[in-house]
Amino acid sequence: DSGVTQTPKHLITATGQRVTLRCSPRSGDLSVYWYQQSLDQGLQFLIQYYNGEERAKGNILERFSAQQFPDLHSELNLSSLELGDSALYFCASSVTSGTSTDTQYFGPGTRLTVL
Amino acid sequence: AQSVTQLDSQVPVFEEAPVELRCNYSSSVSVYLFWYVQYPNQGLQLLLKYLSGSTLVKGINGFEAEFNKSQTSFHLRKPSVHISDTAEYFCAVRGSSNTGKLIFGQGTTLQVKP
């Protein structure tokens, strides 16, 4: 158990819908990262928040957005869902914004299926 | 920009045999290197990491990796594998900027046969 929690574990929805994935980082961690794992794209970095502020952005679609709240939990919002958005979405957390000794700990993931 | 190439998508091996999973990276800046393991239906677990210092890094579950700057490689090895090592292994790189963004390889599935 990494200490990072993600809810829900599974999510099945229809095209065009909107969903919210939730992540609680390990106690004391200030950074939250979101990654998408799909069969065709592999594991891709989406976005990083550090202490409530966006820190780095990867290949995140405009239909996707994220935020980190004052209690440091984070939510990833996916809207106008398409079949290709079906994937495993991981959250990871770390203590700092990305200094040399920083290590990311991953949650169990949320499996999103878009029908 | 950084990139990671895992040279084998699948590696079948018999139990108690040695194994090497290959990883090459590309970067114009100093990097930090990681190996993560993903067991079926689970999240990613850190096996080991190279930040600086000794180029031979030891990790959990008997795995080790060697950083080779001239060959831009970070191959993962285990002298004797167990059935329980069957999983997907990911090599990842992080640049020396002040973000923690990880770039992952495509993964190598290690299949340990009895």
A101:B107 CB<8 A: no
Q: Each residue of A74-90: pLDDT tens digit?
A: 999 999 999 999 999 99
Q: Each residue of B62-81: pLDDT tens digit?
A: 999 999 999 999 999 999 99
Overall average pLDDT of the B2-27 stretch: 95
Overall average pLDDT of the A61-65 stretch: 96
- Residue of B36, B99, B108 to mutate, testing the A interface (most A Cβ within 10 Å of its Cβ): B99
Which amino acid, residue A62? E
Categorize the per-residue pLDDT at B98 as very low, low, confident or very high, splitting at 50, 70 and 90: low
Q: Let me know: does A110 contact A55? Beta carbons within 8 Å.
A: no
Categorize the per-residue pLDDT at A73 as very low, low, confident or very high, splitting at 50, 70 and 90: very high
DSSP code per residue over A50-88: ETTEEEEE-S--TTEEEEE-TTS-EEEEE-S--GGG-EE
Q: A with B: how many residue pairs have Cβ under 8 Å apart?
A: 64
- Give chain B positions within 8 Å (CB) of A55: 99-100
Examine the pLDDT at B5 and tell me if it is beyond 90.
Answer: yes
Q: Is the dihedral of CA A84, A90, A95, A98 positive or negative?
A: negative
What is the phi/psi pair of residue A85, to 5°? Answer: -80, -10
Confidence at residue A102, expressed as pLDDT on a 0 to 100 scale: 81
Nearest chain B Cα to A111, which residue? B41
Q: What is the 3-state secondary structure (H, E, C) of B19-73?
A: EEECEEEECCCCEEEEEEEECCCCCEEEEEEECCCCCEEECHHHCEEEEECCCCE
Q: Let me know: does B93 contact B6? Beta carbons within 8 Å.
A: no
Q: Each residue of A89-109: pLDDT tens digit?
A: 999 999 987 776 788 999 999
Q: Is the dihedral of CA B7, B89, B35, A22 positive or negative?
A: positive
Q: What is the percent of chain B with per-residue pLDDT over 70, rounded to a whole number?
A: 97
C-alpha span between B92 and B73 (Å, rounded)? 11
- Give chain B positions within 8 Å (CB) of A102: 100
Categorize the per-residue pLDDT at B53 as very low, low, confident or very high, splitting at 50, 70 and 90: confident
